[in-house]
Amino acid sequence: MEWRRTNGWGTRLLAIWLIATGSLPWLGAHIPQAGPILSLLAIAAGVLIFMRR
């Protein structure tokens, strides 16, 4: 099985969203307005993946 690197912005944003969503509770970091920021990031990633960019 060969691993392929994805160059799409949607996949990159999705990776950032997953890392941020998973790590914030563990780090105990309080970021003001983290919910809306993560929601916008998820929407942007979804749109870009849907458009295959």
pLDDT at 53: 63
The pair of structure tokens assigned to 37 is: 């920021």
pLDDT at residue 6 tops 70: no
pTM (2 decimals)?
Answer: 0.68
Rounded to whole angstroms, the Cα distance separating 16 from 10 reads: 10
pLDDT digits (tens, 9 = 90+) for 7-27: 788 888 888 888 888 888 888
Within a 10 A sphere around the Cβ of 11, how many other Cβ atoms?
A: 15
Q: State the pLDDT at residue 5.
A: 65
pLDDT, tens digit (0-9, with 9 covering 90-100), for 34-53 = 888 888 888 888 888 888 76
